[in-house]
Amino acid sequence: GRKYIDPFRYTWIVSVVATLGLFIMNIVLGNSFTGYSSQTWLIFFLTAIVSQMIGYLAITYALGHLPAAIVSPTLIGQPILTAILAIPMLGEIPNPTQWLGGAVALAGIYIVNQSHLHAQEETPNA
């Protein structure tokens, strides 16, 4: 689908379908949509906009312009970015093991991306 649809339309379609599916599932399961504070609704909204809409739009756009071999391993960086954002937003500080794991993951992303770039340089144009 990504080949024939621009990233904005693709993200919109996926988001609407996912929202409808989750809405129906919550109704079937009997979950309530009420009783949440306005602050909680704001957090829900910001999570939907920042994490889902902007994040998936960026991924969809990247897949249209970069090889999947670059985009896919780079997605491993999402939890690292989330952990870093949690420091000022939630006051959650990663422990030393989590910092080490993040550093190892970032090193892995770097190695994969560099090896892909070197492979492209060594491959003659056909």
Token couple for 46:
């910001």
Query: pLDDT at position 67, please?
Result: 85
Residue where a domain stops, chosen among 36, 65, 94: 65
Same domain, 43 and 57: yes
Distance in angstroms (rounded) separating the CA atoms of residues 92 and 72: 27
Same domain, 90 and 73: yes
Same domain, 16 and 38: yes
Residue that is written with structure tokens 């989330």 in the block: 82
Same domain, 20 and 42: yes
Same domain, 94 and 58: no
Q: Give the structural domain span for 76.
A: 67-126
Same domain, 10 and 61: yes
DSSP state of 50: I
Same domain, 102 and 123: yes
Token couple for 65:
């312009």
Same domain, 56 and 92: no
Same domain, 74 and 54: no
Same domain, 58 and 75: no
Same domain, 71 and 52: no
pTM more than 0.85: no
DSSP state of 5: S
Q: Are the C-beta atoms of residues 88 and 124 closer than 8 Å to each other?
A: no
SS3 category, 66: coil
Query: pLDDT at position 105, please?
Result: 96
Same domain, 35 and 17: yes
Please say if the pLDDT value at position 2 is more than 70.
Answer: no
Q: Could you tell me how far CA 115 lies from the centroid of its own chain?
A: 23
Residue where a domain stops, chosen among 42, 65, 88: 65
Contacts of 105 (CB under 8 A, 6+ apart): 76, 77, 79, 80
Give the number of domains in the chain.
2
At 60-100, the pLDDT tens digits run 888 888 888 888 888 889 899 889 988 998 899 999 999 99
